[in-house]
Amino acid sequence: MHTVIRTYLNQPDLADALKKHRKDIEQTIGAVAGFVSYSIIKIPDGAVALTTCETRAECEESTKRAGEWLRQNLSQLKVKPPVIVQGEVCVQFAKAHAGV
């Protein structure tokens, strides 16, 4: 498995805007082949998005789709390109729950 972390800095309203569009984002990112999980973390200066997929190529596709979705749906926020870190998942576990 592979995870990509997209950190959006100097965007204090982004996390709240993304939260309002949860279903749209779920449809966009969740449709990527090999999709495993997605999370948005609100930070004081912006947002961090984590996507895990089966392969690196699928994570790269999720990044492409995320950028397109932001341009089409939140253009008024003038979202700057994120800082991107990605790599192979070495350890992963989770407690089953209904979601946030």
Overall number of domains in the chain: 1
pLDDT tens readout for residues 70-89:
999 999 999 999 999 999 99
Is 100 within the bounds of a domain? no
- The DSSP annotation for 71-96 comes to HHH-GGG-PPPPEEEEEE--------
Structural domain span for residue 79: 2-88
CATH number of residue 31's parent domain: 3.30.70.100
Cα–Cα distance for residue pair 59/3, rounded to 1 Å: 7
- At 96, the pLDDT band (50, 70, 90 cuts) reads confident
